[in-house]
Amino acid sequence: MKVLHLTLKKKWFDQILSRKKLIEYRSYKPYWHSRLENKKYDYIHFVNGYGKDKPWMDVEIIQINPNFDWMWYEIKLGRILRKGNIS
């Protein structure tokens, strides 16, 4: 399985967890281009912060599209598959 690992600030992590945020954005720059363009991931492993007890969740990826008007990637999120260390 191919997994995209992303670290989020608490605000964005909580919004995805509560299903208020259904699209994650990444800037259209060489770093993200090499990680996202023409790649197929099974799911995203989101973490909030660092350390061994950090909150995490695995979220289904519906689609990854570049948005050339705004110069970013739009990652459309599906259902939450698993989660852990959530208080």
Give residues with Cβ within 8 angstroms of 12, minimum separation 6: 21, 24
Q: pTM for the whole thing?
A: 0.92
Q: pLDDT tens digit string along 22-63?
A: 999 999 999 999 999 999 999 999 999 888 899 999 999 999
Total number of domains constituting the chain: 1
Q: pLDDT tens digit string along 62-73?
A: 999 999 999 999
Distance CA 82, CA 59 (A): 7
Tokens of 55: 């909150």
- What was the pLDDT predicted at 1? 84
Q: pLDDT tens digit string along 53-63?
A: 999 999 999 99
Give me the CATH number covering residue 13. 2.30.130.30
Q: Which residues are registered as beta bridge partners of 20?
A: none
Domain that holds residue 51: 3-84
